[in-house]
Amino acid sequence: MASVLKSTNRRLNFVLHFILWGAIVCFIFDLSGATSFSQKNQRSSIPDGFQSADYASDSWDETTLLQGSSQKILEAQFFEASIRKRELQGGANEIRTGIQLKLIHRTSLLSPHSNTQSAKIDILKELLELDAARLMRGYRLSSSSSGNPQSGYLASTNAVRKKHKAADVAHTKYSSESANNRISSGSTLGSGQYFVDFYMGTPARRYSLIADTGSDLIWVQCYPCSKCYPQSNPIYYPNKSSSFSSVSCSANQCFLVPAPTQASCSSRFPTSCQYTYIYNDGSSTSGFLASETVTMISSSGESLKISNITFGCGVSNAGQSLRGSNGVLGLGQGPVSFASQLGYLYGSRFSYCLVDYLTATADSSLLVFGDAKIEQSLKNAIQYTPLVKNPFAESYYYVGIKHVCLNGQILPIPSKLWQITSAGYGGTIVDSGTTLTYFRNAAYSLIVAAFQRAIPVPRVAPIQGLDLCFNFSAASGINIPEFSILLEGDVLFQPPPENYFVDTALGVKCLAMQGVDSPLGSNTIGNLLQQNFHVEFDRSNARLGFVWANCSSSS
């Protein structure tokens, strides 16, 4: 009996040892495979599938589709994970509380690209052509989308992985600090937007990006480029940066960008995260999502590195408005914008002060994150109006207009022309990427008629698409009427005449506004009207602030 028990115990021990060693071997195998997979997909190299910039064709798993409140949870998880992973390196305390980069305006006399022979009207003509493409394509996209208008400045080709734009997630445990970047007009580079120098990678390399409050994604032209437009400096090479890391298609941030129609993702073996963005003027970028270290360099040469910034590596990019740039710096309210990713560091607040780019000067404009670099006198005088939510276009900065006034008199414009409809159309957007100010036609015609009655000088034929032009050459002592906008919160935005009347010929001035033909279009406050104003986007308090400032003196 004892021998039988002894034999049974030996067999049992053998089985247990066999099971234990089998489990250990399987664990090591799985760990090795996972490590290999992780290194394969997260290493500092080009993700598989982009060696020839081809996209996969399999369908996404149904479990990867997100809707409603689960999308908001995912956005919050993305922010929290970013905070844990992001690190700051270098930089004195004063750099961490305010960093200023000296950038040169595209038409500045200091700019190597400056063309002193360019006339204002030639520059303006190019800007208006870009405005037309940017706005009108957007209206066509809006009217073709059933029940889901893309009334802002981005149209997604995402047919499978849905893009839901995020409301800002405020991070109050960080103090309000600031960082300044000089931004410059790119008008004669084939773009109506502003440019900001952006240092990315390890070692850091400079890229000139369009600073755009009307879009979210940060992206650069990236090797391997299957379709890229010409740029003056080298494109971004992932393999040349030790801090590059690709983003998996199963990662949280991948669900916050629009996917190509043929994108695929296996929950078992996820590949790199593919994206496609189409802008209103027809410009586009496609590629894969990644993370990098961004370096902010002060004018004194000190630097501050910020790790794990999510960006798009664009391998197929095209469009007139992108030429002359290396990509786009999205400053919208979406979760992957630069303003959102940096928000927790600087109190979810950024601002800019735009100089007159139609006049060749040695001055540059200013982009500020946080408020530590803002003069106290401006802080004391700034007025705020609430940011208005549009559930169909949450990335864009909407404000509410109550009245438009001329010489202090309220114009009889129906209030419905300022409102966002239940379908998400209309409303008023503040945009750095549009030149003129645009009003819906019914409002615009009343504004034009009021100016025409108030200016007793000869009217001349429209010039370069500007409808209302006057010849002031024989007039003396004639003042241009005061134009103002009464915003929600009963704050008055009153720009100087040079912001809404531009010189187009000797003695001739034209109204720098146009009408919007489409009933689906939005009103847009463009960058000309914002010049020499400190404009602040205070996202943590859901408000937009403004105060007159001599932006040239801040250069």
> Closest Cα to residue 337, out of 178, 530, 167, 83?
167
DSSP state of 527: H
The count of other CB atoms within 10 Å of the CB of residue 17 is: 10
* Alpha carbon separation from 294 to 126, 363, 479 (Å, rounded): 32, 26, 48
Contact status, residue 497 vs residue 509, Cβ threshold 8 Å: no
Question: H or E segment at 218?
Answer: strand 218-221
What type of residue is 507?
G
Contact status, residue 322 vs residue 210, Cβ threshold 8 Å: yes
Token pair for 390 = 């549009």
Contact status, residue 355 vs residue 531, Cβ threshold 8 Å: yes
- Cα 233 to its chain centre, rounded Å, is 22
- Considering just the CA atoms, what is the radius of gyration of the chain in Å? 27
48 in active site: no
Cα distance from N-terminal residue to C-terminal residue, the chain: 98
Given 197, 371, 431, 538, the catalytic residue? 431
Sorted by sequence, the CB contacts under 8 Å of residue 424 that are 6+ apart come out as 148, 149, 151, 390, 391, 392, 393
φ/ψ of residue 236, rounded to 5: -75, 130
In 241-347, alpha helices (H): 338-341
- As a whole number of angstroms, the distance between CA 230 and CA 371 comes to 36
φ/ψ of residue 526, rounded to 5: -85, 180
168 in active site: no
- As a whole number of angstroms, the distance between CA 236 and CA 218 comes to 13
Buried b (16+ CB within 10 A) or exposed e, 322-350: bebbbbbbbbbbbbbbbbbbbbbbbbbbb
> Closest Cα to residue 277, out of 300, 311, 251, 237?
311
Given 212, 216, 281, 363, the catalytic residue? 212
- As a whole number of angstroms, the distance between CA 83 and CA 68 comes to 24
Catalytic residue ranges: 212, 431
